[in-house]
Amino acid sequence: MKTTRGTLWSLIAVLFGAMLLLAACGDSGDGDSSDSASGGGTKVDVELKEWSVTPTPDSASAGTVDFTARNTGTIEHEMVIVRTDLAPDALPTIDSGNRVDENSDEFEVIGEIAEFEAGSTESAGFDLEPGNYVLFCNIEGHYKAGMNTGFTVSG
C-alpha cells in the first residue's frame, strides 16, 4: 500500500509541476495586440505633454510595435494612431479644428491608448504595416495646440 501511495504522490507532484510550467510559459494576454503590449515587438517610448507628442525612436520596422506612453504633462492625455500620408498637422478636424475627425475616410485609425492621468504610463502593442502614421492626442483642443507627430514604419 505504501508503494501505491508514494506513486500517487509522485504523480500528483509531476502533474502539479507540469501545470506550473504551462502557466509560466502561457500567453498572459488575450491575443489582441491592440489592447496590451506584446513584449515581442519594437519598443517605442512616447512622451505626451502640453503640447507635444515625442516618440523615441520616431520609426520602427513593420510588425508589432509596443508603445509605452508616458504622460509627463499636468493634465490627461491620450494617444491615437492613424495610418496616413497627410502631414501630422493636416488631418481633417471637427469642432472648429479642436479635434481630429476619427470617422474620416482620409486615414485609417489603427488604435489608441485611451485618456490617462498626468504622471502615469500606459502601454499597448499594435501590428503596423509599412507606411506613414500620425500619433496625436484627440482630447478637445490638444491636437490644435500641437499634440501630433509623424511616425514611419519601414518594410
Query: Tens digit of pLDDT for each residue in 48-71?
Result: 999 999 999 999 999 999 999 999
Which whole number is the average pLDDT over 128-153?
98
Annotation: CATH topology of 32-154: Immunoglobulin-like (2.60.40)
Per DSSP, the residues of 107-126 read SEEEEEEEEE-TT-EEEEEE
Name the burial class of residue 118, with classes exposed (0-12), middle (13-18) and buried (19+) by CB atoms within 10 angstroms of its CB.
middle
Q: Mean pLDDT of all residues in the chain?
A: 85
Predicted pLDDT at 26:
42
Query: Tens digit of pLDDT for each residue in 75-99?
Result: 999 999 999 999 999 999 999 989 9
Predicted pLDDT at 22:
45
Cα separation, 40 vs 153, in Å, equals: 16
Q: Domain residues of the chain, as ranges? A: 32-154
pLDDT surpasses 80 at 141: yes
